[in-house]
Amino acid sequence: MVLIGYTMMAEQAGPRELVSHVVGAERAGFDFSVISDHSFPWLESQGHASYAWSVLGAAAQATSRIPLMTYVTCPTFRYHPAVVAQKAATVQILSEGRFRLGLGSGENLNEHIVGAAWPAAHVRLDMLEEAVDIIRRMFTGEYVSHHGAHFDVENARLWDLPDAPPPIGIAVSGTRSCAVAGRQGDLVIATEPRRELLERFDAHGGAGKPKVGQLPVCHDTDRAAAVARAHDQFRWALGGWKVNAELPGPDGFEQAARHTRPEDVAEAIPCGDDVDAFVDAVRPYAEAGFTEVALVQIGGAHQEPFLEWAEAKLLPALREL
């Protein structure tokens, strides 16, 4: 059975609301949760970008069962990998072992704020792989010094260690990232139901490991309202990651998506309250080999009705996949 997760999308709701939403997701019966880690929203209409790690600390205390996960954190620009290791270890303790550390090579949208030049994709992946090595060494509790191609660590140590380190997930979108994930990851993360990504991950050491996907949805009893909201806040998602990783701010995404029509969004994102349409959108992930799928309900003010509907109708239908 594919596990169904809930996404705390930090670009569309404030920090207190995000915690309330994940409490509701636990109550509704979602199998796990994830949170985005942004310094900017994709579009100004989303309107939020709180600090994911503070939200995670609060969520760890406000919930008791639902697993938590970053989806995803970039450990190479805004955050030094040694600091990411400390944050992840702390959340793992606070959540009593319910945390997984999802990592990726980042988007210019979020990482540009520190003023570093945005390098080519292959350089970002080299940085990610070095960062994961540092984080894993930090998780041992030993003193770590490291002088590598991209990072320096001097006599660092984690003084508060969880009983077990958080599993590390690696986000993939192409051949080289799959190789990094297979070598370095305890699980793989992807946002498209592409079987070839999972096959490449398996070929590089990922066989038998969890495979976590993500799917935007827009529930509303008024389908036209759902389509309009999805177009207003999520039309950027149709651009693909070769574009989405490169643009530096919401204005760029406004321009990149200016020709995207509501009907284009409705074709890509299930909208309304037809359970079968939502199940049909999840099915390609299951068929591709994903073991988990995190749903993103579009619209920060529309989470409670979605959670009620999911508990009553959607989750029981998805359990049959």
d(CA 36, CA 91) in angstroms, rounded, equals 15
Whether a cis peptide bond, with omega within 30° of 0, leads into 72 is: yes
Residue with tokens 């290791």: 85
Contact yes or no for 109/40 (Cβ under 8 A):
yes
Q: How far is CA 276 from CA 6, 183, 266, 271, in A?
A: 19, 37, 15, 11
Cα separation, 293 vs 187, whole angstroms: 13
**Residue 34's closest CA among 68, 77, 75, 81?**
68
Q: Respond yes or no: is residue 17 known to be catalytic.
A: no
From the candidates 107, 111, 129, 130, which is the catalytic residue? Answer: 107
Q: What share of the chain is helix, strand, coil (3-state, %, to 5)?
A: 50, 15, 35
Q: What angle do CA 264, 268, 272 make, to 5 degrees?
A: 95
Residue 309: helix, strand or coil by DSSP? helix
* DSSP per-residue string spanning 23-57: HHHHHHT-SEEEE---SS-SSTTT-----HHHHHH
Catalytic residue among 11, 21, 38, 302: 38
- Report whether 98 contacts 32 (CB < 8 A): no
Token pair of 140 as six digits: 């041992």
Alpha carbon distance 167, 156 (integer Å): 21
DSSP code at position 301: G
Active site residue 154: no
Point out the residues that are catalytic: 38, 107
